[in-house]
Structure 1
Amino acid sequence: MTRTLHNRTILMSGGSRGIGLAIALRAAADGANIVLLAKTDTPHPALEGTIHTAADEIRAAGGRALPIVGDVRNDADIERAVTSAVAEFGGIDIVLNNASVISLAGSRELSPKRYDLMQDVNTRGTYMLSRAALPALLEAENPHVLSLSPPINLDPKWLGPHTGYTLAKYGMSLATLGLAAEFAERGIAANTLWPRTTIQTAAVSNVLGGAELMRRSRTPEIYADAAYLVLTSDARELTGRSLIVEDVLAEHGITDLERYAPGIDPADLYPDIFL
């Protein structure tokens, strides 16, 4: 049976811009319902998009949107998002753990406040949002949890340069893989998804490498297309995996990736971290 995301409800952390919004728009093209839990209520001076402009784009793409202004660090906001999603759309089929904070500072430079922020949004937010949605997911026909986090790679070159960030991202992955093991027999899939090259996002532009790195990165649509394939798969067949964007596409016969980085020699694309 060919699955689509028509009338499926996705609860997403973040999603005002970047990869999360690209995934939401791909799902919206099927007629999905997207519930966004995000803080960006008003325009940011350095970043495009708010939760409201994202909702407008989702509706224009063919989906239904429910913007919930809130913080994934706040348990009451999480509960409100879950309750609102169930009340508005009758359930939750997918949890998309997209919200993430990045700091590549070394351990001496990383402030306790920034460390706590990364842990609270990345690791705790992933676990608590997924946990809160479990009752609804257990009632869904083909439930998925998908976290935008890397495979666990214990090579010292990923542990040493930015220990605080690595802990936070690996925490997302561990929480997700733990849920996969815990709920495999009850039919909830839980996987992580990570790209082989950098993606054109605000983090790449503002934190990692500016305009030159943006030029050497793929568009967020590659992440969205891979996520779509994961989320339309059989939850009992695909779970507990640390998936790579390009590998997911290749498994579905998509090997020509030029449209995701038009005019760029593949050899010039910049490899993402953790791989």
Structure 2
Amino acid sequence: MPELKDKVIIITGASRGIGRAMALTFAKEGATVVIAAKSDKPHPKLPGTIHTVAEEVEKAGGKAVPVALDVRKELAIKRLCDDIGQKFGRIDAVINNAGAISLTTVEETSPKRYDLMQQVNSRAVYCFGHYALPYLKKSDNPHILNLSPPVNLNEKWLKDYSPYTLSKYGMSILSKGMAAEFKEHGIAVNTLWPQTYIATAAIEFAVGNKETLNYARKPQIMADAAKVILTHPSQNYTGLWLIDEEVLKAARVTDFSQYAYSPEHEDKIQKDLFLD
């Protein structure tokens, strides 16, 4: 299988949570990680900035390129892709991890919040696909990985927060389309979604509360699954809606207790949204 050493990997939303876990996991493999996030300065409530993660990446054995990025700004995405693509001669992988979430109904969701979710979630996938494409074509094992779920049209996933659901399903449908479109260039496009809640700020503040984290897994499980995906040959591993646990089981991982955020609650870990 291809390795990640010296691979150039862009991760959005990489200043904390799943994005940070991925950055550090790839760093241990010797990758060059572009840490792209809005968190240029410390947040009053949330730990981590692009600069603190860059330091961690370097200490872990990788090379770090911290970039302040708002994924709603397509010209900033273009500039990032051009800068990285020209500096390194290629882009090997893009991971669209940055996300906006509001579990609200149509009635409760303001147009401003609706637009934010569509821009940060599905539109950013399009923008990175569009602007990173010339540089992904130059990689010997190019991947785009989007953090979105399998499309599940069960009414319960639509009824209470369809604006958010639409933005995430848009990512998944676009991924299928790009996988077919980019296949001739050998570029893999897949999605990855957790089987269970992941202990992140989104789960703590948007889905539940601090107590909810006890029924979640650590972000490391998503990072380990992403590493498996990015080390697959891109030619024959594309167009898939993947689940972290299934990816790792296929890679012969059998001990999932290592990922429990709260080991004493391991038998009560909660299944994530969109999974029946």
Band of TM-score, shorter chain:
over 0.9
CA distance in 2, matches of 1:90, 1:155: 44
* Structure 2 residue 104 is the aligned partner of structure 1 residue 105: yes
- Taking the TM superposition and a 5 Å limit, the aligned residue runs for 1:22-171 are 22-171=21-170
**1:272 match:** 272
CA distance in 2, matches of 1:130, 1:179: 8
CA distance in 1, matches of 2:265, 2:254: 15
Shift of residue 240, structure 1, vs aligned partner: 0.3
Shift of residue 40, structure 1, vs aligned partner: 1.0
Shift of residue 265, structure 1, vs aligned partner: 4.7
Would you say how many aligned residue pairs link Structure 1 and Structure 2?
A: 274
2:180, 2:239 within 8 Å by CA — same for their partners in 1?
A: yes
Shift of residue 87, structure 1, vs aligned partner: 3.1
State the TM-score, normalizing by the size of structure 2: 0.96
CA RMSD across the alignment: 1.1
CA distance in 2, matches of 1:206, 1:47: 11
Tell me, which stretches of 5 or more residues in structure 2 are unaligned?
none
CA distance in 2, matches of 1:214, 1:70: 28
CA distance in 2, matches of 1:89, 1:26: 21
1:33, 1:89 within 8 Å by CA — same for their partners in 2?
A: no
**CA offsets per residue over residues 34-66 of structure 1, 9 Å max, x none?**
112211111111111111111111111111111
Shift of residue 128, structure 1, vs aligned partner: 0.4
Instruction: Note closer, same or farther for the CA distance 1:242–1:264 as it changes in structure 2 (3 Å cut).
Output: farther
Tell me, which stretches of 5 or more residues in structure 1 are unaligned?
none
CA distance in 2, matches of 1:267, 1:99: 29
**1:4 match:** 3
CA distance in 1, matches of 2:57, 2:83: 18
CA distance in 1, matches of 2:45, 2:173: 32
Shift of residue 71, structure 1, vs aligned partner: 1.2
**1:188 match:** 187
- Taking the TM superposition and a 5 Å limit, the aligned residue runs for 1:166-245 are 166-245=165-244
